Amino acid sequence: MPFDHQRADQAEQFFTLLKHWKGEHAGEVFSLEPWQRDIVREVWGRVDEYGHRVTRTVFIAVPRKNGKSTWAAGLGLLLLMADGEPGAEVYCCASDRDQAAIVFQCGREFIEDSVPLSARCQTYRREIKVPHSSSTLKVLSAEAYSKHGLNASGIVFDELHAQPNRDRDSLVERVYA
């Protein structure tokens, strides 16, 4: 399978648009750790003969207090704005809405603190819209089973281990249905 270095570079560089908004790194540009960089480059750089990203599912287990939610927010924004999909539907999911909102809140703060990103996006309490591409990022909880008609192009699922029935494949199938 071909590797598109330019596409991998662009995905990696997207994170330089993001600034930490709280904690000891507040105000600093998001800097990918080497292991995060390797994942981003592999996922966005590995393409098929038509130049489409071939990696469709990534499961990453990260111990507590390693910036997982912050990085996940960056990945969600990358899927929303820099994955080349018009009408992208990206969902921040977790076993409950409050947990799902943590990743979303990080993403919203990234946008509101970035002049280039805030010029492209409209931020709301539970939704981020990119008008020029008709793309959205929304918060969704485990109650996704009650949602029909979603056409997810990306899902960032935080705290998957806390899913009540541990049937992650079933939940993902319902969100993608």
Q: What is the pLDDT of residues 14-69, one digit of tens each?
A: 999 999 888 888 889 999 999 999 999 999 999 999 888 898 888 888 887 777 88
Q: State the pLDDT at residue 161.
A: 57
Whole-model pTM: value is 0.86
Is the pLDDT score of 143 beyond 70?
A: no
Q: State the pLDDT at residue 84.
A: 84
Is the pLDDT score of 95 beyond 80?
A: no
Q: How far apart (Å, rounded) are the C-alpha atoms in residues 105 and 101? A: 6
Q: Which of 110, 157, 117 is nearest to 135 (CA)?
A: 117
Q: How far apart (Å, rounded) are the C-alpha atoms in residues 122 and 130? A: 6
Q: State the pLDDT at residue 158.
A: 75
Q: State the pLDDT at residue 81.
A: 94
Q: State the pLDDT at residue 176.
A: 46
Average pLDDT, integer, range 116-136 = 94
Higher pLDDT, 177 or 28: 28
Q: State the pLDDT at residue 104.
A: 92
Strands (E), the chain: 89-93, 122-123, 127-130, 135-140, 154-157
Q: How confident is the model at residue 73 (pLDDT cuts 50, 70, 90)?
A: very high
Q: Which of 116, 124, 84 is nearest to 16 (CA)?
A: 116
Gyration radius of the chain's alpha carbons: 16
